[in-house]
């Protein structure tokens, strides 16, 4: 996979903390670095890992960052390959009864995908599954939005999502999809044991076949005036409801 630029303090910090061996170099704006202690700390970390650090004019960082806010620091990073779908069975076996899988069917906005990966990493999910032809991939924007989550959770791009869902069912994983047009609440579904949570795109929701393969379809109750939540917000709600139930059984 080709190298890409990681933009901003938090993403660079995440890369150095989780996968410093893939950071090729740091570029910092010296004027900002002199007054920002966090950048100074990141420079020290990079040098401790023998990563080259170069001072560059702010204009050069502006050009590399494009519309993103670089905050005076960027890093050249070689992303690890996405987890191959053949590795999914091993991940399920590893986590066993604690398996918690997040399936995103058609999330193409990089900010939403990054935010979902952030929540998934915080919830310590087994894997995040996306279809190869309906996902944005691990772009620099996704990595920035994930705040380091992209480096902490396996992201599996699968050729055939329906086949993968069947494989999850065969492995004993119970699948719950989220949709607004059902009477079942997520708070009524038992999320203990090996489960997969499926969310579709904001505009269209889950595809028909994806929904048909779910064991349950549930909604997040919303007594207010809004009809839906942003998909990354919905992801966080349902993931942490699953964690709440799992903690309660202990």
Q: pLDDT-derived band of residue 87, with 50, 70 and 90 as boundaries?
A: very high
Residue predicted with more confidence, 249 or 246: 246
Q: Is 200 annotated as a binding residue?
A: yes
SS3 2: coil
Give the mean pLDDT of 194-212. Answer: 90
Give the mean pLDDT of 234-250. Answer: 90
Please give the pLDDT value at position 167: 97
Q: Say what the pTM is.
A: 0.78
Please give the pLDDT value at position 1: 47
Rounded to an integer, what is the distance from CA 53 to the centroid of its chain? 28
Contacts of 66 (CB under 8 A, 6+ apart): none
Q: Where does CATH 3.40.1280.10 sit in the chain?
A: 85-248
Q: Where does CATH 3.30.1330.30 sit in the chain?
A: 4-77
Q: Is 107 annotated as a binding residue?
A: no
Q: Is 220 annotated as a binding residue?
A: yes
Q: pLDDT-derived band of residue 4, with 50, 70 and 90 as boundaries?
A: confident
Q: pLDDT-derived band of residue 2, with 50, 70 and 90 as boundaries?
A: low
Give the mean pLDDT of 131-153. Answer: 77
**Measured distance CA(160)–CA(171) in Å, rounded:** 17
Q: pLDDT-derived band of residue 108, with 50, 70 and 90 as boundaries?
A: confident
Q: Is the pLDDT of residue 38 over 90?
A: yes
- Which pairing describes strands 195-200 and 174-178: parallel, antiparallel, or unpaired? parallel
**Measured distance CA(205)–CA(208) in Å, rounded:** 9
4-77 architecture in CATH? 2-Layer Sandwich (3.30)
Q: Which of 8-12, 85-89, 227-231 has maximum average pLDDT?
A: 85-89
Q: Is the pLDDT of residue 166 over 60?
A: yes
Computed over every residue of the chain, the mean pLDDT equals 89
Please give the pLDDT value at position 111: 87
H-helix segments, 148-230? 161-170, 208-212
Q: Is the pLDDT of residue 128 over 90?
A: yes
Enter the DSSP assignment of 219.
Answer: B
Please give the pLDDT value at position 170: 96
**Measured distance CA(242)–CA(130) in Å, rounded:** 20
- Name which of 159, 156, 99, 87 is nearest 124 in CA terms: 99
**Looking at the domain that runs over 85-248, which CATH code has it been given?**
3.40.1280.10
Give the mean pLDDT of 202-215. Answer: 89
């Amino acid at each position: 996979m080709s190298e890409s630029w990681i933009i901003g303090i938090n993403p660079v910090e995440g890369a150095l903390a989780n996968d410093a061996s893939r950071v090729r170099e740091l570029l910092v704006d010296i004027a900002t670095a002199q007054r920002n202690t966090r950048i100074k700390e990141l420079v020290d970390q990079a040098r401790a890992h023998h990563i080259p650090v170069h001072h560059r004019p702010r204009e050069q960082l502006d050009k590399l960052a494009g519309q993103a806010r670089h905050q005076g620091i960027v890093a050249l990073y070689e992303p690890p390959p996405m987890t191959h779908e053949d590795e999914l069975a091993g991940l399920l076996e590893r986590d066993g009864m604690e398996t918690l899988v997040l399936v995103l069917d058609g999330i193409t906005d990089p900010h939403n995908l990054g935010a979902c990966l952030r929540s998934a990493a915080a919830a310590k999910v087994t894997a995040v599954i996306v279809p190869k032809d309906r996902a944005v991939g691990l772009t620099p924007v996704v990595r920035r939005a994930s705040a380091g989550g992209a480096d902490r959770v396996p992201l599996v791009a699968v050729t055939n999502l329906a086949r993968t869902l069947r494989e999850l069912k065969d492995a004993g994983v119970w699948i719950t999809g989220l949709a607004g047009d059902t009477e079942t609440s997520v708070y009524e579904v038992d999320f203990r044991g090996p489960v997969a949570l499926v969310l579709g795109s904001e505009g269209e929701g889950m595809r028909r076949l994806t929904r048909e393969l779910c064991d349950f379809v549930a909604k997040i109750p919303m007594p207010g005036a809004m009809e839906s939540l942003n998909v990354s917000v919905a992801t966080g709600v349902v993931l942490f409801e699953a964690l709440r139930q799992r903690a309660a059984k202990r």
